[in-house]
Amino acid sequence: MVDVPASSRLPHARFGRLDALRGAAMVWMTLYHFGFDLNYFKFWQQDFLRDPFWTWQRIGIVSLFLLCAGMGQAVAAQQGVHCQRFLRRWTQVAAGALVVSAGSFLVFPLSFIHFGILHSVAVMLIVARLTVGWRTGWLLLAGAVALALPSLAQALLVPGSLMDALNERPHNWLGLVTRRPYTEDYVPVFPWLGMVWWGLALGRWLLAHRPHVLAGPLPRAGAPLAWLGRHSLVYYLLHQPVMFVALMAWDRFLR
């Protein structure tokens, strides 16, 4: 593993700076979803599928979330988090993914979320837990391969049964597709596992060489972000329904 300074070996202590970074990702995501909802109800016309301003924001938000997830697993490994605690948290994420699928099916039955960010995180947490002992160099290399794999698949796959199978729902969660599935949110294992592996490598390196970056004191102004980061799952599940219902009510009764 890594040689972590004694000053950062605090069992199950919260790393406020990491929580705040996750909270910042939540705020960014909320602004993005609010813009998406405004567009959905035609308060504001934007092209979320093709406009680079929005597509690159989505990439940035998902990347930051998954980097935080990887760093969080590095912290958990350093603190010796027991398997039972990991499984309890994993069960919460997996249950949240099922709630998202069910809720999106009610609103968007033809394009419901069958493998979005929470589904992806549930798979990647297990992979990160199993690979947390890899050397940093191997994590960086594995991350690069994961990020490149979908492009390689698109370049090498030829039309046929394998391509068709990878594009179908039972297998498109892998991300080795030649056409994007029709769904409201799609975060497949590849390439996004690469960001988790890179976050894991970054977290291990910081804990070994720059522990103050993660474990240092958090400015008072960052406390709200840290609180949000500590409750990110509950917030994620609630923020979009609240905004969606509020805008739907405004659209029907006040506009």
What are the DSSP calls for 107-165, one per residue? Answer: H-TTS--SB-HHHHHHHHHHHHHHHTTS-HHHHHHHHHHHHHHHHHHHHH--SSHHHHH
* Gap between the Cα atoms of 88 and 125, Å rounded: 12
**Residue 73 confidence class, pLDDT cut points 50, 70, 90:** very high
- Which DSSP helix (H) or strand (E) runs through 112? none
Stretch 3-27: mean pLDDT: 74
Among 89, 93, 69, smallest CA distance to 81 is for 89
Stretch 143-169: mean pLDDT: 92
Residue 12, pLDDT score:
61
* Gap between the Cα atoms of 249 and 117, Å rounded: 27
What's the one-letter identity of residue 241? Answer: P
- Which residues share a beta bridge with 186? 115
Mean pLDDT of the chain: 93
Residue 7 has pLDDT above 70, yes or no: no
Q: Quick one: tokens of 84?
A: 């039972």
8 Å CB contact between 194 and 143: yes
**Residue 131 confidence class, pLDDT cut points 50, 70, 90:** very high
Residue 152 has pLDDT above 90, yes or no: yes
The DSSP 8-state label assigned to residue 253 in this structure reads I
Residue 214 has pLDDT above 50, yes or no: yes
Residue 108, pLDDT score:
92
8 Å CB contact between 221 and 170: no
Residue 2 has pLDDT above 90, yes or no: no
Stretch 190-219: mean pLDDT: 95
pLDDT in tens, 22-57: 999 999 999 999 999 999 999 999 999 999 999 999
The DSSP 8-state label assigned to residue 182 in this structure reads S
Residue 11 has pLDDT above 60, yes or no: no
- Sorted by where each begins, the domain ranges of the chain are 12-254
Radius of gyration of the chain (CA): 19
| DSSP E strand boundaries for the chain | none
Region at 222 (left for phi over 0; alpha for psi -120 to 50; beta for the rest)? alpha
CB atoms within 10 A of CB 155: 8
Residue 205, pLDDT score:
96
Q: How many CA atoms lie within 13 A of 211 on its CB side?
A: 14
Residue 8 has pLDDT above 70, yes or no: no
* Gap between the Cα atoms of 61 and 71, Å rounded: 16
Among 195, 59, 60, smallest CA distance to 121 is for 195
